[in-house]
Amino acid sequence: MTHEHEQDPYSQETWDARYADSDRVWSGNPNPQLVARVADLPPGRALDIGCGEGADAVWLAARGWQVTAVDVSPVALQRAAAHADEAGVEGIEWLHHDLMSGEPLPGGFDLVSAQFMHVPRGIFEEFHRRLGAAVGAGGSLLVVGHHPDDLATGVRRPHGHDLLSTPAQMVAALDPAEWDVVVADAPTREHHGPDGPVTVRDSVLHAVRRA
């Protein structure tokens, strides 16, 4: 990865290069907090933010959700579409969208899911408000991030502080008059790091837009 890419970790070029450098970047499994929070929700329209190689989108679509999956990287979207084909899952809309551009997302979704997004600290609250704006009345916003406690494990240090947030910071980005917070928690899970398994903590926000 070039120095230019290191200076702009949010760009299409950076993510295209990251996906092109590896046959698989992620595990191919849906994110565990998505499974835990959404498995019992009735299927509707879902927006998968930063879909990557498509594991979450495929998992949702296989359970009856009508999924729009967005990512900044066309390379990731091509790989995600191939994953869906291999899984025999149809009906996912793959949308190229630069989340850092400020352009509005499509709206009216029953679920908006953002799992471990890379968000500059300077636009943290604005970004979460844009996610919330895509949720329809009665719909769910599910945001999962890396907790600052993970710095002590050593597994987050190469990525910088922009990846780290607390549930309280996520909640503070939402208008309390518009949202009911269902979960704002920081559960732990086992993560297989380069030096073996470590216990990490996820920041989880599940909020429902008031009808």
Token pair for 149: 């406690």
Portion of the chain with pLDDT greater than 70, in percent: 85
pLDDT tens profile 179-195: 999 999 999 888 776 67
- What is the pLDDT, as a whole number, of residue 200? 86
Indicate whether 13 belongs to any domain. no
* Residue 68 β-bridge partners: 47, 93
Indicate whether 68 belongs to any domain. yes
pTM: predicted TM-score of the whole model, two decimal places: 0.86
Q: How many domains does the chain have?
A: 1
User: What distance in Å separates the CA atoms of residue 78 and residue 96, rounded to the nearest whole number?
Assistant: 10
Indicate whether 64 belongs to any domain. yes
- Pick the more confident residue, 109 or 192: 109
Say yes or no to pLDDT of 4 above 50: no
Burial (CB < 10 A; 0-12, 13-18, 19+), residue 125, is middle
| CATH number of domain containing 85 | 3.40.50.150
Indicate whether 125 belongs to any domain. yes
Indicate whether 142 belongs to any domain. yes
The whole domain housing 93 covers 25-209
pLDDT tens profile 60-89: 999 999 999 999 899 999 999 999 999 999
Indicate whether 2 belongs to any domain. no
Average pLDDT over residues 11-40: 78
Indicate whether 10 belongs to any domain. no
Indicate whether 12 belongs to any domain. no
Burial (CB < 10 A; 0-12, 13-18, 19+), residue 186, is middle
Q: Residue 34 — φ and ψ, nearest 5°?
A: -60, -50
